[in-house]
Amino acid sequence: MFSAWNLRDQPPEERAAADLQGFAVDKTFLSSLKGILLETELVFGIILVSVFAYDAFKIYQNELVTRASQGDQQ
């Protein structure tokens, strides 16, 4: 509670810097081997999720089209 009061008494530019303090980017970590592996894993995960979502959409769309055409024939 007191930390919120302390932030309120600070100038606006210091308040903004204090709010974003936990989201700072550590450039030395990102350029290290672990950081590069983490970035690669993240990109690979995004690609994998995109492929799964596209495949699921195509299967779902295909099932709807075949069921709709079967319903028209009956």
Q: Do 18 and 10 contact (CB within 8 A), yes or no?
A: yes
- Structural domain that includes position 68: 2-73
Predicted confidence band of residue 6 (pLDDT cuts 50, 70, 90): low
Query: Is 1 a residue whose pLDDT tops 60?
Result: no
Q: Residue 68 has what pLDDT?
A: 73
pLDDT digits (tens, 9 = 90+) for 8-64: 666 666 665 566 566 677 889 889 999 999 999 999 999 999 999 999 999 999 988
Q: Residues near 8 by Cβ (< 8 Å), separated by ≥ 6?
A: 15
Predicted confidence band of residue 70 (pLDDT cuts 50, 70, 90): confident
The domain total for the chain is 1
Higher pLDDT, 69 or 7: 69
